Amino acid sequence: MSPYRILVTGAAGFIGFHLSKQLLGKGFEVMGLDNMNDYYDVGLKESRLAILEKSGNFSFSKIDLHNKQAIDNLFATKKFDYVVNLAAQAGVRYSLTNPYAYLESNLTGFLNILEACRHHPVKHLIYASSSSVYGANRKMPFSVHDNVDHPLALYAVTKKSNELMAHAYSNLYHIPTTGLRFFTVYGPYGRPDMALFLFTKAILDGKPIDVFNYGKMRRDFTYVDDIVEGIVRLIPNPPPGNPTWNGENPNPASSFAPYKIYNIGNNQPVELLHFIEVLETKLGKKAIKNLLPLQEGDVPETYADVDDLMQDVGFKPSTSIETGIGNFVNWYKEYYKMK
Which of 127, 155, 223, 303 is labelled catalytic? 155
Whether 155 is catalytic: yes
Residue type present at position 20: S
- Are the CB atoms for 324 and 223 separated by under 8 Å? yes
CA distances to 177, 181, 327 from 234, rounded to whole Å, are: 11, 13, 25
Beta strand ranges found along 131-176 (DSSP E): none
Q: In what helix (H) or strand (E) does residue 211 lie, and over which residues does it extend?
A: strand 208-211
For residues 88 and 79, what is the distance between their CA atoms, to the nearest angstrom? 22
Its sign, for the CA torsion 202, 208, 211, 215, is: positive
- Of 194, 188, 205, 221, nearest to 332 (Cα)? 188
Q: In what helix (H) or strand (E) does residue 264 lie, and over which residues does it extend?
A: strand 259-264
* Residues annotated catalytic, as ranges: 155
